[in-house]
């Protein structure tokens, strides 16, 4: 009986440690250049931007005669206008760390840099 109890405590402290580790690494990730954003087309990085130091501006990205207007404002980034049929990228609004902005018809992805590193790790 006594040993069972001990085992359970080891298990619980293991879970707590694990959770603390995950929370810690998320915090570190956010501090280490969570502002670094990449605009990727067909797997090629067109722009690598540091949102923390970017001025407000518009970036135009072309794909076979089609255009995505990307807006940087107040250190955030979004697709302002696009002539793709689904308009999903426009409706996604400002980029947050939860999900990249994707324009499938134009093979365009806007994402935080460390998300792509994670993806690379998974692919490899
Ligand atoms: Zn689109």
Residue 123 vs residue 12, higher pLDDT: 12
Q: State the distance from the centre of ligand 1 to the C-alpha of 108, rounded, in angstroms.
A: 8
Average confidence (pLDDT) over 38-45: 96
Both tokens assigned to 54 = 């970017």
pLDDT tens track for 70-121: 999 999 999 999 999 999 999 999 998 879 999 999 999 999 987 555 555 5
103 beta partners: 108
Q: State the distance from the centre of ligand 1 to the C-alpha of 97, rounded, in angstroms.
A: 19
Residue 117 vs residue 46, higher pLDDT: 46
CA-to-CA distance for 79 and 93, rounded, in angstroms? 7
Is pLDDT at 32 greater than 60 in this prediction?
no
pLDDT of residue 7: 85
Q: State the distance from the centre of ligand 1 to the C-alpha of 103, rounded, in angstroms.
A: 4
Q: State the distance from the centre of ligand 1 to the C-alpha of 104, rounded, in angstroms.
A: 6
pTM: 0.66
User: Can you tell me which residue has the tokens 């792509």?
Assistant: 116
Is pLDDT at 123 greater than 70 in this prediction?
no
Q: State the distance from the centre of ligand 1 to the C-alpha of 83, rounded, in angstroms.
A: 7
CA-to-CA distance for 21 and 36, rounded, in angstroms? 23
């Amino acid at each position: 009986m006594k040993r069972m109890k001990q085992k359970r405590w080891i298990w619980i402290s293991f879970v707590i440690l694990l959770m603390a580790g995950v929370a810690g690494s998320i915090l570190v990730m956010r501090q280490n250049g969570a502002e670094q954003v990449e605009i990727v087309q067909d797997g090629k990085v067109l722009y690598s931007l540091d949102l923390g130091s970017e001025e407000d501006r518009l970036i135009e990205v072309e794909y076979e005669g089609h255009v995505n207007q990307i807006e940087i404002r107040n250190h955030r980034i979004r697709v302002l206008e696009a002539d793709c049929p689904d308009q999903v990228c426009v409706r996604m609004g400002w980029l947050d760390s939860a999900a990249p902005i994707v324009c499938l018809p134009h093979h365009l992805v806007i994402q935080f840099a460390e998300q792509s590193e994670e993806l690379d790790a998974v692919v490899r």
